[in-house]
A = this chain, B = another copy of it.
Amino acid sequence: MRIAFLGPHGTFCEQALGSVLDDFPGARTEPAASTTAALDALRAGDAELACVPIESSVEGAVPATMDGLVETPPVVVIREILLPVRFGVLVRPGTTAADVATVASHPHGEAQTRRWLAAHLPHAEVRMTPSTAAAAAAVADGQVDAAVCAPVAARHYGLEMLADGVHDTGDAVTRFVVVARADSTLPAPTGTDRTSIAATTVNEPGALLAILTEFAIRGVDLTRIESRPSKARLGTYWFFLDGAGHVAEAAMGEALAALHRRCTDLRFLGSYPRATVPPGSTAPSPPVAPPVPGQTPADHAAAAEWLHALRSLPSRAAAGPVVG
Q: Does A287 contact B (CB under 8 A)?
A: yes
* Known contacts A128-B129, A227-B60, A229-B58; A205 and B235 CB within 8 A of each other: no
Q: Tell me how many chains of this kind the complex includes.
A: 2
> Chain B contacts of A215 at CB under 8 A?
209
Pick from B59, B128, B216, B234: contact of A206, CB below 8 A: B216
Judge whether A234 and B203 touch: CB under 8 Å: no
A169 nearest in chain B by CB position:
B231
Please name all residues of chain B whose beta carbon is closer than 8 Å to the beta carbon of A292 when the two chains form the complex. Answer: 205
CB distance from A264 to the nearest CB of B (A): 13
Cα A169 to Cα B236 in complex, Å, equals 15
How distant is A8 from chain B, measured CB to nearest CB, in Å?
A: 15
Let me know if A60 and B286 touch, CB within 8 A: no
Q: How far is the CB of A57 from chain B (nearest CB, A)?
A: 4
A311 in the interface (beta carbon within 8 A): no
Cross-chain contact B128 with A235 (CB below 8 angstroms): no
A127-B127, A128-B130, A236-B286 given; 14 more Cβ-contact pairs under 8 Å: A55-B229, A58-B231, A107-B128, A128-B128, A173-B233, A203-B287, A203-B289, A205-B221, A208-B212, A209-B216, A212-B212, A223-B235, A233-B286, A234-B283
Number of A residues near B (Cβ < 8 Å) is 55
Question: Quick one: which of B175, B226, B286 contacts A227, CB cutoff 8 A?
Answer: B226
Contact A233 B171 (CB under 8 A): yes
Pick the most buried of A111, A127, A215, A231: most chain B CB atoms within 10 A of its CB.
A231
Distance, CA A287 to CA B235, complexed state (A): 7
CB proximity of A35 to chain B, nearest CB, Å: 12
Q: A205-B292, A229-B59 are in contact. Are A82 and B234 (CB under 8 A)?
A: yes
Quote the shortest CB–CB distance from A127 to chain B (angstroms): 8
In the complex, A204 has a CB within 8 A of chain B:
yes
Decide if A60 touches B58 in the complex (CB within 8 Å). no
Q: Is A220 an interface residue (CB 8 A)?
A: yes
Contact of A204 among B224, B228, B229, B289 (CB under 8 A): B289
Chain A residues 76-108 with CB under 8 Å of chain B are 82, 107
- Cα A56 to Cα B129 in complex, Å, equals 22
The yes or no answer to A15 lying at the interface (CB within 8 A) is no
